Amino acid sequence: MDARGHLEKALQLTNKEFIQKWLDTITVEAQTKRGRKPGAAPSETRCQWAMADNSQCKNNRFENNSFCRMHMAKVHLIDPGTA
């Protein structure tokens, strides 16, 4: 059964206003719990990785390192001495 079928079944069991209110609640919960926080980290705690367009990574540094967790795994690619 596809999504349309599920929605049609839900409409048979309830009404459009109930479903819309429920969908709005789910959307708000998903936006507040998941995903990346908007904006960049403060400059004093920002990852030092230079992106392809010469901009700086927007993530926070990981613990006492100069790079975020994602770029710590890639730093050996730009500086073989750190491996």
Look up the pTM and report it: 0.49
Per-residue model confidence (pLDDT) at position 46: 93
Distance CA 12, CA 28 (A): 25
Per-residue model confidence (pLDDT) at position 21: 86
For residue 37, tell me if it sits in a domain: no
Q: Given pLDDT bands bounded at 50, 70 and 90, which one contains residue 74?
A: confident
- Residue 22: pLDDT above 60? yes
For residue 43, tell me if it sits in a domain: no
* Tokens coding 76: 């050996």
- Domains: count for the chain: 1
For residue 48, tell me if it sits in a domain: no
Q: Given pLDDT bands bounded at 50, 70 and 90, which one contains residue 36?
A: low
Show the domain range for 70: 59-83
CA atoms within 13 A on the CB side of 44: 0
For residue 73, tell me if it sits in a domain: yes
For residue 68, tell me if it sits in a domain: yes
For residue 65, tell me if it sits in a domain: yes
For residue 7, tell me if it sits in a domain: no
For residue 75, tell me if it sits in a domain: yes
Per the model's pLDDT, the better-predicted residue between 30 and 5 turns out to be: 5
Per the model's pLDDT, the better-predicted residue between 3 and 61 turns out to be: 61
